[in-house]
Amino acid sequence: MTSNNMVNIYLYTRYERFWHWMQTALILLLLVTGFELNGLFTLFGFKAAAEIHNYSGLTWLILFAFFVFWLFTTGEWQQYVPTTRKMLSVIRYYTYGIFRGEPHPVPKRKDAKHNPLQRLVYLSLAAALLPVQMVTGFLYWGYNSWKDWGLGWLSLEVVAAIHLAGAFAILSFLIVHIYMITTGHTVFAHTRAMISGWELVQEGTKIEDWEQKKRKAPQPVT
């Protein structure tokens, strides 16, 4: 028998929370200074923006290396293994069910913090977009050393274009992510969980249970 009680579970470790908020701060700094360097606005001034951008990028690179090390030494990499199980149910939930008050088809668990759609998105970020952004940023930073590194054949325009496109992709993800964190059982539930580590989750709720209750509910007389 399933239960609809909310249970409080310790979902995010101290390191996960530190990584999340530190990465958030660095990404925001990189976006703001990067767009300033491209002439969209003036905030820090070109020289200061360049220095902040470079140091933030190098810090992010080091932090990401520690994150990858943590993933593989703790076994948390398994949280990002992609799966198609209930993928369509999750997509249906975010495009339709969430607006009707349906329960999430894949409730969070300690051993499964991310639903199938999140796994695919986060894996794409961690394995593709972020590494490309870091590599192109590092190349941009070391442009004057390309010949010494044997990379004289590279095009600065191409590297810069890829780096800028990656910045817009990260900004797009950030906008969607900010919206998604408001879709918990309360607007700030997911944010509080990423601060304290504890999150209230629905215990034993399945989408099939909700559908069964809906079918049994009395229908209005027409």
Note the pLDDT tens digit of each residue in 108-117.
Answer: 888 889 999 9
- Chain mean pLDDT for the chain: 88
Residue 1 has which token pair? 């028998």
- Predicted confidence at residue 52, as pLDDT, reads 96
Mean per-residue pLDDT for 173-188?
A: 91
% of the chain at pLDDT higher than 90: 74
More confident residue, 204 or 26: 26
pLDDT for residue 104 is more than 90? no
CB atoms under 10 Å from CB of 72, counted, come to: 9
More confident residue, 214 or 160: 160
Is 14-175 a CATH 3.10.20.340 domain? no
The whole-angstrom separation of Cα 222 and Cα 218 is 12
205: helix, strand or coil: coil
pTM of the model: 0.83
Q: Give the tens place of pLDDT for each residue, 59-79.
A: 999 999 999 999 999 999 999
pLDDT for residue 35 is more than 90? yes
pLDDT for residue 93 is more than 50? yes
6: helix, strand or coil: strand
The whole-angstrom separation of Cα 48 and Cα 39 is 14
- Predicted confidence at residue 5, as pLDDT, reads 73
- Predicted confidence at residue 129, as pLDDT, reads 95
Which residue has tokens 């198609």?
84
pLDDT for residue 214 is more than 80? no
Q: Per-residue confidence at 4, pLDDT binned at 50, 70, 90? A: low
The phi, psi pair for 86, rounded to 5°, reads: 65, 15
The phi, psi pair for 123, rounded to 5°, reads: -65, -40
Helix or strand run (H / E) with residue 202:
strand 198-202
Q: Per-residue confidence at 204, pLDDT binned at 50, 70, 90? A: low
